Amino acid sequence: MTRLATGGRIDRTRPLRFSFDGRDYTGFAGDTLASALLANGVHLVGRSFKYHRPRGILSAGVEEPNALVEIDRGVGRREPNARATMVPLVEGLVARSQNRWPSLRFDLAALAGLGSAVLGAGFYYKTFLGPGRDAWHKRWEPLIRRMAGLGRAPEAADPDRYGNRYAHAEVLVVGAGPAGIAAALEAAAAGGRVILCDEQAEFGGSLLAEPRAWPQLAADMAALSANPAVTLLPRTTAFSYGLQNFVALAQVLEQPNDLRERLWQVRAQRVVLATGALERPIPFSGNDRPGVMLADAARHYAQRWGVLPGRNVAAVVAHDTGYAATFALQDAGAVIAAVLEMREAAPAALLAEAARRGVRVLANHGVVGTRGGLRISGLLAAPRGADGAPDAARATPIACDLLLMAGGWTPSVHLFSQARGMLRWDAALDAFLPGEAREAVTCVGACAGEGLAPGLPVTQMAAGSARAPKAFIDQQNDVTTRDIALAVREGFRSIEHVKRYTTNGMATDQGKTSNMLGLALVAGELGRSVPEVGLTTFRAPYTPTSFGAFAGRHRGLQFDPVRAAPLHDWAVQQGAVFEPVGQWQRARYFPHAGEEMRAAVDRECLAVRESVGIFDASTLGKIEVVGPDAALFLERCYVNAWQKLGIGRCRYGLLLREDGFIYDDGVVGRLAADRFHVTTTTGGAARVLHMLEDYRQTEFPELHVWLTSTTEHWGVIALQGPRARDVLAPLVAGLDWADFPHMAVAECRVAGIAARLFRVSFSGELGFEVNVPASQAPAVWQALMQAGAAHGITPYGTEAMHVLRAEKGFIIVGQETDGTVTPDDAGLTWLVGKAKPDFIGKRSLTRPEMLRADRRQLVGLRPHDGRNLPDEGAQLIATATSREAEGHVTSAYRSASLGHPIALGLLAGGRARLGDTVFATSLNGAPMALEVVAPCFLDPKGDRLRG
Amino acid sequence: MVEIREMPPFACTLLQASAAVAATLGPAVPAPLTATEEMLWLGPEEWLLLGEPGVPQGPASLVDVSDRYRGLALHGPGAATLLNEGCPLDLADAAFPPGSCTRTVFGKAEVILWRPSAAEWRLLVARSFSPYLLALLHEAQADLTPG
């Protein structure tokens, strides 16, 4: 065991059992998975992405590139690529290593590592171009995906819930280290709401490795948590910083099998970033061997978790902080084999302290290489030569079981940069620091460079490493110093290009430990400075964020609102088959027991033609247009003439866009001089209201007219068929039937309910649409069903509705039209008010292109064979072998009433081609011959309407 | 800690008119972003009248929309937190004091949010969206941490 007898913030009275790769271990409450593994002497935790090299735990925090494990909480709860350093230990935790076969200790694919000399940067681009077309997609990519790639995505649906919370705060503090806690205390004292979040399970940041600071930390946190205006969010990562201080936080909750995560969307008046700094690794051969660790991480393991990650410790140091870490491990009981000081000399005070402690410091030394298999057993130390590389000829071996790397510090400016803040290069600190801000944001602590001292500049630290073999800079993507040098030699100059070519910094850690080294190496190869090379872009998310957090509760039935019309429940009881129309669920047909769709639709259609059908039309959009200028407003918007429409009369209205193409249609009824009941298509309800409201407010503000959506207020029941009046009349009160012709509207009572009754038809039969308040619609429907029983009243769905209207040649906007169809194309010129001075789209209709005789026009199409249907969307061609499309099929149905299939289509110059034969292309056969006919197949004179 | 209650049906009329004409209807016209027991401000020149409307003296639009909305009433100290599950507005007392009323969203549903008193919040939602809204609220309610 490497667990210390005392010390740390773990609770030794609360042991927790967990398993890793099937072996059982014990840790303590307060551990992370990484600290618990180290306490059990487990350093080997994973295999690398490309070369399958054995990898250990590099860090103690969010930047971890190696210790990526699979956490398995059961079916659907398997989480790949979890950073062991960020997983709090819980009882029964099941973790597995990834990317190894057959086992972690013996991985066959590690043989790839033997060939690593040929697997360098750009390897994929260069190698897998042949043989043959599609070689990459069909052959190489699947193979490489099996070999490389990290964790396995879970296959089962995620049973956990994910919440969302919008929050507002006067101050949001990101990061609860000393600077963040101080900022939160200050903000709380000033009053107002404060949110303090930290990605770790425990607040304190660097203080957690400073036992002397713990009493004050406890007092500060107690003060914050006692303040009701302060919200404390542990295990919460601020991962995205958007415009106007809109910051997204991903919170991982305690209950593992309940509410799993919560996405916080915070709008803060001021944001304080206290995101700290990350320690830089040092590039040398074999720096990825298990047991090579960031120096400050080792200090945290010793002081925060009471774990000694090695007993015989060496350190390679480019920064003063490496000494504090080394001394802390010595204090915890480790033997210090040597400190390799990469600088010419360490500060005198540190050297004196090292001497006092009996720690051997080798000045101006570097690491030639490391020894060991699955864990480091020693290193070769050598004086650095003129080019910065250690001189292998003068190397001496040093035995160790832990090698610390103290490469200096990189302030975490990710979020500041996401917020479009400018970064500035601080030459003294050798780091990019926050510069000019674009948001109300303050950076404090190490992320602003506060409290950081300069060390060996990163370019000097990396100098000479480009020629060292297997010196890794991006351990997650297996990018070496040689890969960077190769990319530069091959002509890549932009750091963005070098990044993409080598994949440096493109793994899930987004280069937290590798980007600065990559910059330093490119700078060295090009002979430029780091700021001249520039910086890659920081993008959200700061750390990987689960899909669940983004999806929140918008899944399953709540993925999108499912809108049900007032008669939905009745249709469900009848066994209706539904189809989605926008967000609505509409009954498509009502099959009898054992009845196929085709038979049901035929039966429903025939019932309407022969007797009476009943249909739920409630989803139709409805807009009440009211005001003394209502008629004038409609006159200016729709193509039709409205001023002379009598009260109690209806008209089929057509609405264009400014470009002259059909936008929507629907019946409009005039209820009073100043009141119109406008209907729209089901799908067009919202956009038509928005368009009309836009014109009302911006084009015609002088008109006294207002628009109100009444779509949801009215339930609409359509009765269609020769027996419709017989069913309806006995239930109607207060209507003068003598003055109620086709296209009339009246307010009356139906089945005792105040109603707006329309005499309209979308089927070509005598028809009525009964509008009653939505809550009353089921009762009125029932009354009509009872009254219609004697006539065999038949409920019908949207499919029959489509067939019935197609038999009449009535268009459906969005089916016969596609945004390029004019009124004339659709055969609706008769609607356009010629004498009107203007309407939306009028000017466009006079453009020469709109007047061409060969425009595609609506026609009917009748299959020659009298049996088969053309495909909707099929191209229309003049001869069976023609390759030139002259239009397309827009609708095609079997017509039980006519006894043959029918279709509608748009055909170039179609109205002049009646009687011609055209062909519809087919995806699975010869083109189908069709006769061009008039679009109206049934009762062209409209006698049935007046029945 | 949060009670979600479906409100009984209520009569309402959408009024659109100039503020001067609206004032002729009788009830005091509420200021923007507020509501009274008789009248909810919904937008510029737009109010929802509860109960029987009077007769406006001037050009106006009055439309019965009683069946357009379903109402939900939320009570309890966690109500604002629950609402912030799906509503992005600042609902703290200082930003949304009792008497406030606005149109906003909850998830993907457009709602009218009205706070008649410190302890009560009302949501009016278009009828067909109410099952969606209720399902979201009930799921979020179950996840609300006590306190």
Q: Is residue B137 part of a domain?
A: yes
Q: Give B71's strand partners.
A: B124
Q: How far apart are CA A816 and CA A819, in angstroms?
A: 10
CA distance A485 to A508: 23
Please report which residue ranges of A384-508 form alpha helices under DSSP H. Answer: 414-418, 458-462, 481-489, 495-502
Please tell me whether residue A662 adopts helix, strand or coil conformation: strand
Give the domain CATH number at B124.
3.30.1360.120
Distance from CA of A601 to the nearest CA of B (A): 27
Sort out which chain B residues have CB atoms less than 8 A from A193's CB and list them. Answer: 92
Contact A163 B131 (CB under 8 A): no
Where does the pLDDT of residue A392 fall: very low under 50, low under 70, confident under 90, or very high at 90 and above? very high
Check whether residue B71 and residue B137 sit in a common domain.
yes
Q: Out of B63, B65, B109, name the one closest to residue A561 (CB).
A: B109
pLDDT band at A304 (very low <50, low <70, confident <90, very high): very high
Angstrom distances, CA of residue A86 to CA of A65, A120, A557, B79 = 12, 31, 33, 33
* Overall fold of domain A852-946: Elongation Factor Tu (Ef-tu); domain 3 (2.40.30)
Domains A11-147 and A160-277+410-454 share a fold: no
| DSSP for residue A639 | S
Fold type of domain A160-277+410-454: FAD/NAD(P)-binding domain (3.50.50)
Of the partner residues A558, A705, A710, the one whose CB lies closest to the CB of residue B63 = A710
Residue keyed to tokens 């109205």: A911
Same domain, B54 and B89: no
- Does the pLDDT value for residue A560 go beyond 70? yes
Report which residue type is found at B89. L
Q: Report the DSSP pairing between strands A236-242 and A46-47.
A: unpaired
Kindly tell me if the per-residue pLDDT of A917 is higher than 90: yes
Q: How far apart are CA A612 and CA A778, in angstroms?
A: 18
Token pair in block for residue A128:
């897998």
Mean pLDDT (whole number) for A14-32: 97
Which member of A165, A706, A774 has the closest CB to residue B127?
Answer: A774
**CA of B37 to nearest chain A CA: how many angstroms apart?**
22
Q: DSSP secondary structure string, A708-760?
A: EE-TTTEEEEEEESTTHHHHHGGGEES--GGG--TTEEEEEEETTEEEEEEE-
pLDDT band at A558 (very low <50, low <70, confident <90, very high): very high
Q: Which residue, among A922, A880, A925, A883, has the nearest Cα to A903 in the 3D structure?
A: A922
Question: Which CATH number describes the domain made up of A456-558?
Answer: 1.10.10.1100
| pLDDT digits 0-9 by tens, A628-674 | 999 999 999 999 999 999 999 999 999 999 999 999 999 999 999 99
Question: Can you give the pLDDT at residue B145?
Answer: 67
Strand partners, B121: B74
Rounded CA separation A614/A795 (Å):
5
Q: What is the pLDDT of residue A14?
A: 98
The answer to whether A318 and A497 have CB atoms below 8 angstroms apart is no
Residue A589 near residue A600, CB atoms below 8 Å: yes
SS (H, E, C) A106-123: CEHHHHHHHCHHHCCCCH
| Per-position b or e across A246-270, b if 16+ CB within 10 A of its CB | bbbbbbbbeeeeebbbbbbbbbbeb
Structural domain includes residue B81: yes
CATH 3.10.20.440 for domain A11-147, yes or no, is yes
B147 assigned to some structural domain: no
For residue A259, what is the nearest residue in chain B, using CA coordinates? B143
Residue B62 touches partner A, C-beta closer than 8 Å: yes
pLDDT tens, position by position, A819-874: 999 999 999 999 998 899 999 999 999 999 999 999 999 999 999 999 999 999 99
Contacts of residue A106, Cβ cutoff 8 Å, sequence gap at least 6? none
Number of neighbouring beta carbons within 10 Å of residue A924: 5
Parallel/antiparallel/unpaired status of strands A236-242 and A246-252: antiparallel
Here the ipTM equals: 0.97
- DSSP for B43-103 reads ETTEEEEES-----SSSEEEEE-TTTEEEEEEESTTHHHHHTTT--S--STTTS-TTBEEE
Domain boundary assignment for chain A: 11-147, 160-277+410-454, 288-389+401-406, 456-558, 613-803, 852-946
pLDDT band at residue A146 under the 50/70/90 scheme: low
Domain count for chain B: 2
**Predicted pLDDT of residue A151:** 76
Residues of chain B neighbouring A167 (CB-CB closer than 8 A): 84
Whether residues B94 and B136 fall in one domain: yes
CA distance A326 to A318: 13
- Cα angle A93, A95, A99 (rounded to 5 degrees) comes to 170
CB environment A72-93: b (16+ within 10 A), e (fewer): bbeeebbbbbbbbbbbbbbeeb
The yes-or-no verdict on residue A946 having pLDDT over 90 is: no
- pLDDT score of A924: 82
Nearest-CB residue to B59 (from A259, A554, A704):
A704
Residue A560 with chain B: CB contacts under 8 Å: 108
Give Cβ neighbours of residue A59 (< 8 Å, ≥ 6 apart): A65, A85, A279, A293, A294, A297, A513
Structure tokens at A102: 């057959």
Identify whether residues B54 and B16 lie together within a single domain: yes
Q: Are residues B87 and B132 in the same domain?
A: yes
The residue among A589 and A139 whose pLDDT is bigger is: A589
Strands lying side by side in the sheet with A887-895: A876-877, A917-920, A928-933, A856-863, A900-908, A887-895
Query: pLDDT below 70 — which residues of chain B?
Result: 145-147
Domain edge (last residue) among B64, B88, B106: B64
Q: Examine the domain organization and report whether B36 and B82 are in the same domain.
A: no
End-to-end CA distance of chain A: 96
Q: What is the pLDDT of residues A157-179, one digit of tens each?
A: 999 999 999 999 999 999 999 99
Cβ partners under 8 Å of residue A716, min gap 6: A616, A617, A618, A620, A622, A769, A770, A771, A777
B21 touches chain A (CB under 8 A): no
B119 occurs within a structural domain: yes
- Residue-wise pLDDT tens digits, A742-758: 999 999 999 999 999 99
Domain range for B44 is 12-64
| Residue B61 contacts A, CB cutoff 8 Å | yes
Question: What are the pLDDT digits (tens) for A525-554?
Answer: 999 999 999 888 899 999 999 999 999 999
Residue B17 inside a domain? The answer is yes
Task: Tell me if B33 is assigned to some domain.
Answer: yes
Q: Does the pLDDT value for residue A601 go beyond 70?
A: yes
Give yes or no: residues B81 and B41 share one domain: no
Residue A765 scores a pLDDT above 80: yes
Average pLDDT, chain A: 94
Q: Which of A73-87, A794-808, B22-36 has the highest mean pLDDT?
A: A794-808
The predicted structure's pLDDT at residue B26: 82
Mean pLDDT, rounded, for A293-317: 98
In this prediction, residue A149 carries a pLDDT of 57
**C-alpha span between A184 and A177 (Å, rounded):** 10
Strand, coil or helix: what is A337? Answer: strand
Quote the pLDDT of residue B147. Answer: 40
What average pLDDT score do residues A912-936 get?
96
Q: Are residues B43 and B93 in the same domain?
A: no
For residues B24 and B71, membership in a common domain is answered with: no
Which pLDDT belongs to residue A581?
A: 94
Distance of CA A907 to the CA centre of its chain: 41
CATH topology of domain A288-389+401-406: FAD/NAD(P)-binding domain (3.50.50)
Q: Tell me which DSSP letter residue A916 carries.
A: -
Question: Helix A495-502 vs helix A481-489: angle between axes, to the nearest 10 degrees?
Answer: 120
> Which of B45, B64, B83 is at the close of a domain?
B64
Q: Which CATH architecture has domain A613-803?
A: 2-Layer Sandwich (3.30)
- Domain final residue, candidates B27, B49, B64: B64
Residue A515 pLDDT > 70: yes
Tell me, rounded to whole angstroms, the distance of Cα A392 from its chain centroid: 51
